[in-house]
Amino acid sequence: MDDLLAMRPFAGLLFDVDGVLVDSETFIAEAAVAMFAELYGLAVDATEFSPFVGTGEGRYLGGVAEARGIKIDLAKAKERTYTLYFEVIRNRLHEVKGAIALVRACRDLGIRTAIATSADRKKLDANLAQVGLLESDFDAAVTGLDVERKKPFPDIYLEAARRIGLDPRDCLVVEDAVTGIQAGKAAGALCAGITTTFTAESLLGAGAVRTFADLVELRPFAIGGAWRADRGS
């Protein structure tokens, strides 16, 4: 598997955002815990959100509510969670190590890139702004508002590849969540797992071809093959 990932010349990289480009998963859980306490008087543990990571905030919040047997006003709950999240991440949110450098190296090498996040547009914008990335650093961006079926369905990755004019089989999906790996694999792409949120074992079990601690570790495998192909070596 290592040889497959290291030697394959990828024409495009498709990035999830939370847990891949920005180290945000603990912050959205913090905001969601505060929201449940504030609006519903419910003490929720951050670990209760783990099964719903990567599925978009609607399912992230709704899944915990269902598990707890309560009904929530999802639109109101999402809005309040986002407001709290934007406060929480101020001056605290950072890139996953090596993320900005990898995105910009792809641009320099002519490797197409796309964002593929189940989150809403407002969360994407806030995340990028906090770490100094621009949407224009990527060739396309697909959010959870752009597709009907979110991860683990392949729709987001199929649409991301389509928007950059590539077959998903010529792309590498970079994901931190089990549902995201499942989505990328279902789309026909090879998937690299980043172990910021889930264990290497769970990501490999979902279909990742290899896992990495961060994007510094990933970089030689993500663009090394493309570099050799471009140089004819």
Residue 45 annotated among the catalytic residues of the structure = no
Using pLDDT thresholds of 50, 70 and 90, give the confidence band for residue 226: very low
96-110 tens-digit pLDDT: 999 999 999 999 999
Our CA angle for 172, 174, 176, nearest 5°, is 155
Cβ atoms of 176 and 194 closer than 8 Å:
yes
Q: Provide the CATH number for the domain around residue 147.
A: 3.40.50.1000
Asked which of 73, 89, 105 is the last residue of a domain, the reply is 89
Same domain, 116 and 31: no
Same domain, 144 and 226: yes
Domain that holds residue 63: 25-89
**Annotated active-site residue in 3, 18, 170, 214:** 18
Percent of all residues in the chain with a pLDDT value above 70, rounded to a whole number: 93
Question: Dmax of the chain from CA atoms?
Answer: 62
169-204 tens-digit pLDDT: 999 999 999 999 999 999 999 999 999 999 999 999
Same domain, 11 and 37: no
Same domain, 114 and 178: yes
Cβ atoms of 203 and 179 closer than 8 Å:
no
> How many folded domains does the chain comprise?
2
Asked which of 89, 118, 145 is the last residue of a domain, the reply is 89
Q: What is the mean pLDDT of the chain?
A: 92
Phi, psi angles (nearest 5°) of residue 122: -65, -35
Same domain, 67 and 137: no
Same domain, 138 and 219: yes
Residue 18 annotated among the catalytic residues of the structure = yes
- Among 181, 202, 180, 194, smallest CA distance to 222 is for 194
Same domain, 65 and 43: yes
For the residues of 100-130, what is the DSSP string, one character each?
Answer: HHHHHHHHHHT-EEEEE-SS-HHHHHHHHHH
Burial string for 192-225 (b: 16+ CB within 10 Å, else e) reads: bbbbbbbeeebbbebbbbbbbebbebbbebbbbb
Same domain, 225 and 148: yes
Tokens representing 214? 């961060």
Cβ atoms of 91 and 131 closer than 8 Å:
no
**Annotated active-site residue in 2, 16, 120, 137:** 16
Mean pLDDT of 118-140: 95
Mean pLDDT of 134-157: 96
